[in-house]
């Protein structure tokens, strides 16, 4: 299987933030980066705020804003995560896999990683260029932080990771039925994914996509062969009686 290069969260953030910005402005932003007053960086649900030292002792207040994720479908996300072992393990280890991003997009209707157009910015300086070097510097700072602390993306989108994991691990809940064949993962099939897991539920269209250009007969035969495989061992716990 062909290896795809995985683009880090920080790199994705940087690419989005600097699209259409020329090298000279990027260089100015990198020069401005050290003037961010680190203790004054605040990452909260919906915003990142920082103070930067400008020329002649002036202080610029710089901010990025992004709306927090809607919460109404959270119970569904929690239930699906209970069947998504590898995603939960990654989150517990402080990673934010792209498969989680896509799961959020599917259930909440909006990806965790924001569309660049939905991030707005502000700065108290009066430089004519938009976004100004201070905003670009703050983007760069956050991109670097994302590579060290990917979970700050959750914080920014208003997701309390510890509370989410606690709900995923909570017992006594009404769960979704176990997946067929006792597979541990929610099937997610994304041909364009960079690190998505291959789903376990194959349909005719998926078999044809996997195998490339093949005849209907081949797809049917493949499905038949899969269907006649001995079942995996049964799920550890029987489905709760309704």
Nearest to 47 by CA among 178, 138, 170: 138
Applying the rule CB under 5 A, the residues between 65 and 94 that interact with Zn ion are: none
Interior/surface letters 127-144, b for 16+ CB within 10 angstroms, e for the rest: eeeebbbbbbbbbbbbbe
In three-state secondary structure terms, 97 is: coil
Are the C-beta atoms of residues 108 and 77 closer than 8 Å to each other?
A: yes
17 binds Zn ion (CB under 5 A): no
E strand segments, the chain: 42-44, 47-53, 59-65, 120-123
132 binds Zn ion (CB under 5 A): yes
The site string for Zn ion over 93-112 (x = CB under 5 A, - otherwise) reads --------------------
CB of 127 to Zn ion, least distance (A): 5
**CB closer to Zn ion out of 26 and 210:** 26
125 binds Zn ion (CB under 5 A): yes
Element (H, E) at 28: helix 23-32
The site string for Zn ion over 184-203 (x = CB under 5 A, - otherwise) reads --------------------
**CB closer to Zn ion out of 22 and 192:** 22
168 binds Zn ion (CB under 5 A): no
**CB closer to Zn ion out of 57 and 230:** 57
123 binds Zn ion (CB under 5 A): yes
29 binds Zn ion (CB under 5 A): no
Are the C-beta atoms of residues 225 and 201 closer than 8 Å to each other?
A: no
CB of 62 to Zn ion, least distance (A): 6
First to last CA, the chain: 43
Are the C-beta atoms of residues 194 and 98 closer than 8 Å to each other?
A: yes
Query: Per CB under 5 A, which region of 90-98, 101-109, 126-134, 180-188 contacts Zn ion?
Result: 126-134
The residues binding Zn ion (CB under 5 A) are 123, 125, 132, 134
């Amino acid at each position: 299987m062909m290896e795809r290069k995985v683009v880090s969260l920080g790199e994705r953030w940087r690419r989005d933030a600097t699209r259409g910005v020329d090298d000279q402005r990027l260089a100015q932003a990198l020069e401005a980066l050290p003037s961010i007053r680190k203790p004054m960086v605040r990452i909260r649900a919906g915003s990142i705020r920082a103070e930067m030292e400008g020329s002649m002792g002036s202080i610029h207040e710089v901010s990025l804003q992004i709306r927090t994720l809607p919460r109404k479908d959270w119970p569904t996300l929690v239930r699906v995560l209970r069947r998504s072992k590898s995603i939960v393990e990654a989150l517990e280890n402080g990673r934010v896999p792209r498969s989680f991003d896509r799961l959020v997009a599917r259930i909440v209707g909006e990806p965790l990683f924001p569309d660049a157009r939905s991030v707005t910015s502000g700065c108290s300086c009066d430089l004519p260029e938009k976004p100004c070097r201070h905003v670009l510097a703050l983007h760069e700072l956050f991109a670097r932080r994302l590579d060290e602390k990917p979970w700050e993306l959750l914080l920014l989108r208003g997701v309390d990771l510890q509370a989410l994991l606690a709900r995923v691990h909570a017992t006594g809940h009404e769960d979704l039925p176990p997946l067929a064949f006792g597979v541990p993962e929610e099937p997610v099939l994304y041909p364009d994914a960079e690190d998505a897991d291959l789903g376990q539920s194959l349909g005719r269209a998926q078999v044809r996509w996997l195998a490339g250009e093949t005849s209907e007969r081949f797809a049917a035969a493949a499905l038949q062969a899969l269907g006649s495989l001995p079942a995996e061992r049964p799920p550890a716990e029987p489905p709760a009686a309704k």
